[in-house]
A and B are shown apart, each in its own frame.
Chain A
Amino acid sequence: EDQVTQSPEALRLQEGESSSLNCSYTVSGLRGLFWYRQDPGKGPEFLFTLYSAGEEKEKERLKATLTKKESFLHITAPKPEDSATYLCAVPEDKIIFGKGTRLHILP
């Protein structure tokens, strides 16, 4: 069965302390990967689509990368407003989501 696993489950960083979130998957014939951000009380908000291994996408302090087996969301010099849950998903017909990483940036 296709699976998407995210790590760590939770991450606390000081403002300005860069780090990376991981998304690994077991899907045959991967056709790309989505990253989403979810704030409390809201639905997930689309960030990126990565289409193939080796691709990178950037948005402000976020950069997403993709290999054949995993994806990383790199956060450079984060600010408190980057605190959220970050979700990855595999765009198969069913669009399977990982459980997310809860990121908390301390001022």
Chain B
Amino acid sequence: DAGVIQSPRHEVTEMGQEVTLRCKPISGHNSLFWYRQTMMRGLELLIYFNNNVPIDDSGMPEDRFSAKMPNASFSTLKIQPSEPRDSAVYFCASRQDRLRSPLHFGNGTRLTVT
């Protein structure tokens, strides 16, 4: 089992540029979550999907953020245009859609916007 795979591991970009983060969940997991982690705010849920359908995107900070899950094995989180305050570590996690099933996290993408 390869676990949740995220790419890239690090991303440095200039303000105003588009950023795309990628995630491959664990095979057989049908729920996928995107989180953002900062020292100040901890882990914040941005959006989650069940069976490729977005269920709750109330954590997406603004319209500059969008997420897609075109199939069961791939999801993207896009920021356009990026701003310095978007700098954080972005985590993707997946789980089986079963009550109390734990999340399994990738190793994150560290985003720096200058």
Footprint of B on A, CB under 8 Å?
31-32, 34, 41-46, 49, 51, 87, 89, 91, 93-100
Contacts and interface: CB of A to CB of B under 8 A. Distances in A.
If over half of A's interface residues share one DSSP class (helix, strand or loop), that class is named, otherwise mixed; here it is loop
Nearest 3 pairs of A and B residues by beta carbon: A43-B105, A99-B42, A97-B43
B99 A42 contact: no
Contacts, number: 52
B104 A46 contact: yes
Contacts of B111: none
B100 A91 contact: yes
Contacts of A44: 43, 91, 103, 105
Nearest to B106: A43
A93 to B, nearest CB: 7
Contacts of A98: 42
Given A93-B55, A93-B56, A95-B33, A46 B102 contact: yes
B79 to A, nearest CB: 20
12 contacts: A43-B4, A43-B105, A44-B103, A45-B105, A46-B103, A49-B102, A91-B101, A93-B48, A93-B55, A96-B45, A97-B43, A98-B42
